[in-house]
Chain A
C-alpha cells in the first residue's frame, strides 16, 4: 500500500474510523516512507494502541502484538527452543551419533517463534505493535535494538535471521520511565495528547452513532473542562465515548448540572475526582 501524501494517510485512517490529526498523519506517513519504527507516547486512553490497529487495517497487514510487562524476557518475546521436542528427538534416535543429532535439534524445526521473530519471519509484511514498552526492564529493552535498527535477530545456534519482509513497527509507552537514548534514537517520536474539542467531537460522532451534533459538542467541551482540572486521573477518550453512550441511553439531549452530576462516575473513577469536578464545574470561573 503506497501513500502519496500525509493527507492520503490521514484519509485512509479516517476510513477505518480512526480520526488522526495532522501530526499523527504526518508521522505515520514518514514512518512508511522511511521504514522507521514509531514510538508513540501519551496519557492512557488517547488511542495509542488503537492507532496500530487502524494502521494494520489500512495497510491490509496482519497485526502482531507483543504486550510488554515487567519480567518479559527473550524466551517470551523473541524465540525459545522447544526442549521437550528436542528431548523426544534425542530419545527416538538413541543409536545415532551425537554430532548428527546435535546438528538436527538446533534447527528451525525445534524453534518456537515468539511475536518478534514471527513479525520478521512472516512471508507477508505485518504491523508489529510493541505495547507499553516502558514496562520492560532496561536489559530487555536492549533486545529490541537489533530488531529495530536492522530488522534482524541473532540466534547463537542458527546465526542471524534477517527479515523476510519489513514490518511496520509501532511502540507505545505511557512514560512511566525514561526509555533509553539508544531506543529513542532509532524511532520517530509521536506524542499524542488529549484531542481538542473539535477533534474529540468528530471522534464521538464516528464512534457513537445517533449522537446529536449539539450533544457531541457539549460532551467534548465538558471533557476539556474536566481535563483542565487537576485530577488524579483525567478522563480518557474511551471514557468520554462511554459517557456519550450513557447519555444517549438515558436519552439526555442537553447536559445540565443535574445530568452531569448523575453521570460523572462514568467519566471519572476516583471519588475525590468526582467530588472535585462536581464542585468546580458548577462555578462559572474558568
Chain B
C-alpha cells in the first residue's frame, strides 16, 4: 500500500503539484485511520490532505484514476497484509468482442440506466460497452483517448441524447424554457456515462501496462503552464475560468501596496497640533498620499495568428480595469482603432469581443499584420493624448509579414509615454526568426516579455506591482 501511495505522490509531483513531506505523512496517517474500504472515501481523504489548490484538482483526478482505478468495492478477501496487493484488478473480465454481440440490447440497457440514473447499471453498461466497442489492443502505448472516442462514436451519443430527451419529456409538449432545462439534465447524465467509460478504459490500460506507464502518457501540463497559442478549446475554457480569481488576487495585492505608502510630513498641521502639548510636536501629522492614478493603454494585435492571445490579454486587462482609473484599449491588424467603449461596465465580454472583430476599423489593406503602419496611424491619431503618466502595453508577435518596420513612430511613442511594454506570446527563441522583427521594435520598449502561459502573465503583472522595482505603472 505504501508503495502505491508513494508512487501516486511521485506522479503528482511529476505533473507539477507541490506535495510536501508533511502532507505526505498526513496522507499516510489519514489513510491509515480510514482504511482502504471505499473508493470515494480514499479519494476524498487523499484530496483533502494532498491537494491545496483548486487548480491542481484535474491533475489529481487523472492520477487517482490511474493509481487507484483498480480499487473495487471492498471484498472479503482484500487484505493488505496478505501477499496480494488489494489494488490490483480482480474484476472478472467478460470475454472479448464476439460476433453475435447485440448493440441494440446494450443501447437499450444504457438508455434505461440513464433514464433512471442508476449508477450501478450505468457502470456495468459502460463496462460492456468498452468490452465490445473499444477494440482495445493490449500493449499499445496510448492514453485511451482514441478508445474513448471509438466507443462513444459507436454508441452514437447524439442519437442517445435524442432518445433520452424523448424518454424524459414523457410525451409532453415542452416550452423552450423547459426544453433547455431538460437538455442540461440529459447532458449531465451523458457526461456521467462518458466518465464511466473513460474510467473503465483507464482501468484496463493500467491492468495492461502498469500504472507508471499509463500515468506518463496521460500527463498534461497544469493549466497555468499551457501555451496560450496552442491551447485546446477545453483548456481555453479552463483558463478563462482561472482569469477571474487571478485578477481579483492581483487587484487585492495592488490595493494593499498602495495603502501602505504614507505621505510627507505636514509641517503646518504638526505645529498647530503641538500647541496642545505645549509646543512639543508629540503627534506628527502627514499629508495624505497623492492617489496614484496610472493610465494604461493596451494595444493589441488581433490579426488571425494572434486571435487567442489577444482575447486573453483583453479579457485580463478588462478584468483589471477596476484597478486602473484610465484604461484604454486599442486593436490593430494593419491599422489601429480604439475599442475602449466596447468594453463598458456591465457589458458581457463575449459580445464586446464580437463587436471588436466586426465593427472596429482595424483592417486598411489586406488584413495581414502591419506593425509599421499601425504605429504610424496610432501616433498620428492618439499621439497628442499620450502623457508622461501613460503606460502603453503592446501585445503582439511582431511578425510584420516582411513589411518595412518603420519603427521611428514607435520610438516617438516611447518618448512621450511613461513606459512602453511589449508582451510577446511566442517563445523567445523564435524571436527574430522569419518575419519576426522583435528586436527592432524591442529596442524602443522599456521591456519585452515572453508571455506564453497564464503563469507568465501573472508574474508579469506581479512584477509591475512589486515595490522597489522601477515604477512603470
| A residues apposed to B, CB below 8 Å | 6, 22-23, 26-27, 29-30, 33-34, 36, 38-39, 41, 70, 137, 175-178, 181, 184-185, 187-191, 196-197, 218, 221-222, 224-225, 228, 230, 232, 256-257, 260, 270-272, 276, 281-286
Contacts and interface: CB of A to CB of B under 8 A. Distances in A.
B51 A286 contact: no
Interface stretch (B20-28, B74-82, B335-343, B465-473): B20-28
B40 A22 contact: yes
A272 B177 contact: no
A196 B248 CA distance: 26
B416 interface: no
A111 B249 CA distance: 36
Interface string B242-258: 00010011001100100
B181 A225 contact: yes
Nearest to A183: B52
B23 A185 contact: yes
B346 interface: yes
B54 A41 contact: yes
Given A272-B348, A286-B184, A177 B30 contact: no
Interface string B1-43: 0000000000000000010101100100110011000001100
Given A27-B44, A30-B33, A33-B33, A178 B180 contact: no
A284 B48 contact: no
A175 B177 contact: no
Closest 6 CB pairs of A and B: A26-B44, A272-B346, A184-B52, A284-B179, A284-B176, A188-B48
A218 B48 contact: no
A228 B175 contact: no
Given A26-B44, A33-B33, A286-B180, A177 B249 contact: yes
Interface string B95-118: 000000000000000000000000
Interface string B172-194: 00011101110111011000000
Interface in B342-360: 346-350
A26 B181 contact: no
Contacts of B54: 41, 175, 191
B400 interface: no
A26 B188 CA distance: 24
B30 A34 contact: yes
B321 interface: no
Given A34-B29, A175-B245, A176-B252, A281 B348 contact: no
Contacts of B245: 175-176
A276 B348 contact: yes
Given A34-B26, A221-B185, A26 B45 contact: yes
Contact of A191 (B26, B57, B176): B57
Contacts of A196: 188
A257 B177 contact: yes
Contacts of A70: 256
A277 B29 CA distance: 47
B180 A281 contact: yes
A204 B46 CA distance: 31
Contact of A30 (B34, B51, B252): B34
B47 interface: yes
A243 to B, nearest CB: 15
A77 B54 CA distance: 28
Contacts of A224: 184
B317 interface: no
A281 B184 CA distance: 12
Nearest to B18: A181
Nearest to A272: B346
A137 B256 contact: yes
Given A175-B249, A284-B183, 12 more contacts: A6-B41, A26-B44, A26-B45, A33-B33, A38-B48, A41-B54, A178-B53, A188-B48, A224-B184, A225-B180, A228-B184, A230-B350
Contact of B51 (A178, A189, A270): A189
14 contacts: A26-B34, A26-B45, A33-B33, A34-B26, A177-B248, A181-B20, A185-B23, A189-B48, A189-B53, A191-B54, A230-B349, A232-B346, A256-B175, A284-B177
Contacts of A286: 180, 183-184, 187
B49 interface: yes
Given A185-B22, A188-B48, A284-B176, A34 B33 contact: yes
Contact of B40 (A26, A38, A185): A26
A265 B357 CA distance: 32
A178 B26 CA distance: 22
Interface-central residue, A33, A137, A188, by most chain B CB under 10 Å: A188
A43 to B, nearest CB: 10
Interface-central residue, B45, B51, B52, B53, by most chain A CB under 10 Å: B52
Given A26-B41, A177-B249, A283 B180 contact: yes
A281 B347 CA distance: 18
Contact of A225 (B49, B175, B184, B248): B184
B346 A270 contact: yes
Interface in B373-416: none
Given A33-B33, A34-B29, A221-B185, A230 B348 contact: yes
B345 to A, nearest CB: 8
Interface-central residue, A185, A197, A272, by most chain B CB under 10 Å: A185
Contacts of B346: 232, 270-272
Contacts of A221: 181, 184-185
A285 B45 contact: no
A177 B252 contact: yes
A181 B52 CA distance: 9
